[in-house]
Chain A
């Protein structure tokens, strides 16, 4: 194994103490980050459970809605449908909040879709067809599904980005920074011991020389 070390460090006791502190900090940070990563992944799996299949449901719902819309267009004509659609009142009542999962801010959408009757929608009845009502109803339904799906997908995207960066940091600490610090500490300790032995020998030689005189 290549003994990678931090460059340009003097083998002194001062540096040794400093390095040991840094190593302690790195190990602590490593274990914290590892816990964060695990918690994030757990959260990620929970959300994956929710997203399962909900895209298909949305797509099926929308398909039905589009079919009805096309039928309405066939019966009433494009122009009349456009006209009716412009007079539909706004139906959305939603509140966007955010919550934090391990420091990742994700949106929480509170959405209430009021069950509207034909009268509430706001277009006239004289020149509209039943199919238009059905299409409008289907679109309202799919809208609430879409909003829910959007919230989940957004959460997944944000969590995924955070997991990736945390993973990278954990790996960097585990494979590069901590081994490097350990190697440097070991190197300095060995140098210091070596210097001590040298000194010991030197003293002995001097002592012998003095005795001979």
Chain B
């Protein structure tokens, strides 16, 4: 769609403040009287705390407060409260290197740091376990007071895979592994808490989901929800890392209450790498069967996810990957078994793609292996198994719109698949992978709805209050574009107000590629409501009928048969509404997902997703036989957008995600030494730089969506979902080396090339 605004390449509304350094982030925040907090963390992966002595720290000049488990509510907490397993501070034992043990607040950061070093903790080390499959054995040390280290299990099943495999012409089986990787937001996790004497706790932080974090803070501190307020500033990246409350929030809050001053706690980069949670590492045993014509008949998987020391988003991640597993292709017989397993490592959490990049890597690499067995081109096997618009899948999902075949077509064409596939020269090759992802978040809260408010001021400015959480992806710009489009305004006339739970309507936050879809739909409903009121006002003012009024260029214009054209500016119109009609223009609009009341996530798990977006990525690689370096020459990312709201922002989302995918595939890995993260800086934890960026050809396929605003689908995560598989498949095409484990390091490639 191309409107006056929608579909255009419009710069972000926050880009000038960001380009001039005036945009304020939470790390920039300084409040009057603010002091600095620091957390003492466990140096051991698994140990009993024998004793704790804070007296020397308390005696240090400049220290304002020292707190331990004795000073905070000690009820257990987790994102899913029914899996609660973590207290604010460890009192009896620590379970990973980084576990919170105590905290101080001091007049400056240096003093806080010194005070932390003065706290004496006597530990009794316990045997620790770092690998999931080792943690599942009978004699593994138990991390929690449970019968085993398996923290959660889920099974999804339909059809009869066992029988179906019998009748398949070709079956392949394999084990695939993906590593734990860090989000590496450029702004570290940090917060400022101010608990004032009237009993109000305000926390400034970089939260992706302020309203649910507000609930989490109230829950863990055992205080009324109404006492808590979360305020966001501009946010230096999220990618899933800032969905669930970090313990520094309640810790800063208690320090603030004790001292009567605002308290800031900010991770160091090393602390961020060691404690800010990672992507769930997946070990996947996958089996796929097909007929000799290439049609997929059955697929099973057993996923073992590395939980780290405590629960976070594991169950939801496993559930979500089961849905994508069942909907990528219409496979009639499926079994999915997933579990999260405790290890003595930092916690895992959501990370762009939410379990789907891991599983798509395994399934799409295995699909190539299957295609090879059948003697079929990898593009062809994907084409014949691709879903089509309107299709009802055997798992129960319906895909009303589906552009997968167009994606495959353009991705193959733009990488010159026919010329380059199987060329077998110079260790060069091409690879392909498909994916499906939610285009609208998830429904597992049982609630997927939000509101927004609009007011029109007598200067012609239209302000919208939206809960859309801006973490860099561009949702505030999208919301402003929707308002401008509907009300015939330029972008400068629209103001977006957000970022404060006292101000904004309840919303679940920015995750699951849901912001444009959910918040955008609410903005659209609100803008259309405002349009009706504005037009009615203009009709009164211009003495005509509403149907003759149009809104354009900041004016209400009346055009009708046999009447002279008349117009009035938005500002004058708003003033007229205030002064003459005693009815200032302000409206509310909402969007609510029609979640079936009898929906049971267990039996109808695929209905968790409201809308799907499909994509195909292809790439070309060249492998250096002397260094093992995989040089990525080009990526084609063909993604279904439904309707492209803003081409420039959409491209940016996909380009950035592809690069994160390249990091996930070729470079990024946490190196541990007895549970301690060794590569806890950007020098040793390799992030893609300007040098690793290949040409990225983004193709946006507009297929529409029956539920999205203007037919848009969410695209925030999709860009890295198929990236690893496309790369691994290209590596196979280039070298004959079948990769089943990420990251694909130079060392691995060099050894594999030598063994060949």
Answer yes or no: do A and B interact: no
A interface residues (Cβ-Cβ under 8 A, vs B): none
Which residues of B are at the interface with A, using a C-beta cutoff of 8 A?
A: none
